């Protein structure tokens, strides 16, 4: 049994503690906003916040998350869209949308620690793979969210 706090709620996962967090979130907690892309830590589609840090959920196990605070895209904002989400819409920075949740989580973590990041810092913080080719618009949107 692994006990975590997910989106501000205590959750118990009756699964193998070596299960990647990604599968616990998607299959047991039904939080499917966190996406499976590569499963190798390369694409960033599975990015969530663990104790406020952006981490790839495919690379960390339930055991490593024991007692920690996990935030998924479903729990990032409550009453209204997060400023990063609003800026992505305003800058039309979404194409297929598959990688968007991971990018939003990475950007939210960046802006929490750096209120005025440079474009280089933004690009470095969102190495997520976007096959639609909207990375320049993503960077512009995250800059907008910082304003």
Residue ranges binding ligand FES (CB under 6 A): 36-39, 41-46, 56, 58
Query: Minimum distance from CB of 79 to ligand FES (Å)?
Result: 29
Closest CB to ligand FES among residues 30, 116: 30
Angle at the Cα of 90 (from 85 to 94), degrees rounded to 5?
65
d(CA 58, CA 42): 10
Q: How far is CA 48 from CA 27, 107, 125, 147, in A?
A: 15, 11, 13, 23
Q: Which of 49, 46, 24 is nearest to 34 (CA)?
A: 46
Closest CB to ligand FES among residues 29, 87: 29
Query: Minimum distance from CB of 90 to ligand FES (Å)?
Result: 27
Closest CB to ligand FES among residues 56, 140: 56
Q: How many CB atoms lie within 10 A of CB 76?
A: 19
Closest CB to ligand FES among residues 87, 99: 99
Query: Minimum distance from CB of 62 to ligand FES (Å)?
Result: 15
Say which DSSP state 90 is in: H
Closest CB to ligand FES among residues 45, 87: 45
Give the residue nearest to ligand FES (CB): 58
Query: Minimum distance from CB of 69 to ligand FES (Å)?
Result: 19
Query: Minimum distance from CB of 107 to ligand FES (Å)?
Result: 16
d(CA 45, CA 132): 14
């Amino acid at each position: 049994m692994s006990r975590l706090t997910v989106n501000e709620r205590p959750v118990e996962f009756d699964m193998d503690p070596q299960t990647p967090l990604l599968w616990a979130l998607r299959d047991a907690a039904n939080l499917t906003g966190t996406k499976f892309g590569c499963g190798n830590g390369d694409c960033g589609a599975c990015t969530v916040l663990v104790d406020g840090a952006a981490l790839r959920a495919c690379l960390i196990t339930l055991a490593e998350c024991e007692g920690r605070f996990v935030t998924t895209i479903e729990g990032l904002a409550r009453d209204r869209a997060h400023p990063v989400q609003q800026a992505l819409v305003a800058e039309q920075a979404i194409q297929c949308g598959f990688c968007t949740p991971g990018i939003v989580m990475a950007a939210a973590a960046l802006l929490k620690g750096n209120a005025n990041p440079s474009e280089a810092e933004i690009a470095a913080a969102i190495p997520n793979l976007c096959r639609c080719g909207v990375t320049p618009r993503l960077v512009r949107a995250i800059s907008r969210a910082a304003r």
